Structure 1
Amino acid sequence: MKLYTFDIAPNPRRVSLFLKEKGVSLDTIPVDLGKGEQFSSPLIDVNPDSTVPTLVLDDGTVLTDVIAICLYLESLYPEPPLFGQTPLEQAQIVGWCHRIYINGLGAVAEVLRNKSEMFKGRALPGAVPLPQIPELAERGNARIGAFFEAMDKVVAEKDYLVGDRLSQADIDLYASLGFCGWVQRAVPEECQALTAWLATMKSHFGE
């Protein structure tokens, strides 16, 4: 297997933290998004959408979505379980991953891709050029604030998003909060539960 990645970017980070928690190392090929390497070989040869992470299996099968990649690797490396131990837990974890992707990662991306000079003409991931819309950056910032408030209430009542142990849902939330820094947003002081949860996760991952 080969993993095409840019470790500091949020979606690759979701996979790298998954692998770190598993204690698994893969053959990785770095793709520097800042230099536009995603639009050239070798990545574009296996993933025309030019997105990372991209996992190429030994038989040539290509997986390009974080949840697809992590679920596949979970089947190969089941310990520790990061997608739950029951069908209900798995459903809840995948549900949280989806919600965090939309409301957390998506909100930050909305700001970044519609405001940063780096993404001028590339307001959405992929190979299709799309113009920035400044109003979407404003909306994204409002969504980030709502995300902080919502997640503060959730983690005030539990140590982990699902069950009694860390899961991919927690990894995704942690990566999303880190991604907020890319648009100069941090967990506000009034979100005390979320601030404490974030500190615990940083300690867990040794960061």
Structure 2
Amino acid sequence: MHLYTYDPAPNPRRLGLFLAWKDIDIDTTQVDLMQLEQLGEAYRAISPSGTVPTLILDDGTLMTEVIAMCDYLESLYPQKPLMGTTPLARAQVLGWDHHIYMNAFTAVAEVLRNGNPNFADRALPGPVKIPQIPALVDRGRERLRRGWQAYDDALSGRDFLVGDALTLADIDLLVCTEFAGWVKESLPEDCESLLAWRERVRQALDAG
């Protein structure tokens, strides 16, 4: 396998934390998003979507979605599980992942890609030119604020999103809280359960 990624970006960071937790070592090439290498001919010959991360399997199969990579790697490396240990838990992890991506990641991305001049004509990832819609900046911030409250409510009385152990859902939500900083958004002080959860997740990841 070979991984093409850019460690500082949010989607690569999701996968990076997954790999680190499970002690998976994959040959890796960094694709510099700051230099727009992901849109160059050389990288698009490898990954036509022009996005990172991209995982190339030994048989040439190409994967470009983090959730698919994690699900595949979980089946190969089941130790230190991050996708749940029962069918119900796995379904719950996938459900939370979908919710986080649709309601939190995309909210931050709306703000970033529609309000930052560096993303002119790149309002969506990939090589196709998409114009910015400035009105989506305010909508994204409002979506994010509502999202923080929803996650705070869900974590009330709970240590983690699913069960009593760290899962990919926790990793994804943690990365989203970091990604929000890219648009100068932070967790509200009154979201006490969410703030306490973030500290637990950070400690768990540090402990390995």
Q: Which TM-score applies when normalising by structure 1?
A: 0.97
Cα offset, 1:118, TM superposition: 1.6
How many residue pairs end up in the alignment?
A: 207
CA distance in 2, matches of 1:41, 1:203: 41
AA at the equivalent of 1:79? Q
Residue in structure 1 matched with residue 91 of structure 2 by the alignment: 91
Secondary structure of the residue that 1:50 maps to in structure 2?
coil
Contact 2:159 2:200 in 1 (8 A): no
Residue in structure 1 matched with residue 193 of structure 2 by the alignment: 193
The one-character-per-residue Cα deviations of 1:24-51 (angstroms, maximum 9, x if unpaired) are 1211110111110001254211211101
Secondary structure of the residue that 2:115 maps to in structure 1?
coil
Cα offset, 1:89, TM superposition: 1.0
Unpaired segments of 5 or more residues in structure 2? none
Contact 2:39 2:126 in 1 (8 A): no
Asked if 1:12 corresponds to 2:12, the answer is yes
Q: Give the ranges of 4+ consecutive aligned residues of structure 1 lying more than 3 Å apart after TM superposition.
A: none
Residue in structure 2 matched with residue 48 of structure 1 by the alignment: 48
Contact 2:122 2:130 in 1 (8 A): yes
Unpaired segments of 5 or more residues in structure 1? none
Residue in structure 2 matched with residue 134 of structure 1 by the alignment: 134
Residue in structure 2 matched with residue 66 of structure 1 by the alignment: 66
Secondary structure of the residue that 2:28 maps to in structure 1?
strand
RMSD: 1.2
Contact 1:174 1:198 in 2 (8 A): yes
Secondary structure of the residue that 1:52 maps to in structure 2?
coil
Q: Which TM-score applies when normalising by structure 2?
A: 0.96
CA distance in 2, matches of 1:120, 1:157: 43
Q: Which stretch of the first structure deviates more once superposed, 12-21 or 42-51?
A: 42-51
Contact 1:10 1:179 in 2 (8 A): yes
Contact 1:4 1:43 in 2 (8 A): no
Residue in structure 2 matched with residue 157 of structure 1 by the alignment: 157
Residue in structure 1 matched with residue 168 of structure 2 by the alignment: 168
Cα offset, 1:88, TM superposition: 1.1
CA distance in 1, matches of 2:16, 2:191: 27
CA distance in 2, matches of 1:117, 1:29: 28
Q: Which stretch of the first structure deviates more once superposed, 155-164 or 100-109?
A: 155-164
AA at the equivalent of 2:203? S
CA distance in 1, matches of 2:85, 2:172: 18
The one-character-per-residue Cα deviations of 1:112-146 (angstroms, maximum 9, x if unpaired) are 00011221110001111010000001100001100
Cα offset, 1:163, TM superposition: 1.2
CA distance in 1, matches of 2:157, 2:106: 25
CA distance in 1, matches of 2:171, 2:99: 13
The one-character-per-residue Cα deviations of 1:56-78 (angstroms, maximum 9, x if unpaired) are 01111000001111111111111
CA distance in 2, matches of 1:165, 1:201: 10
Cα offset, 1:204, TM superposition: 2.3
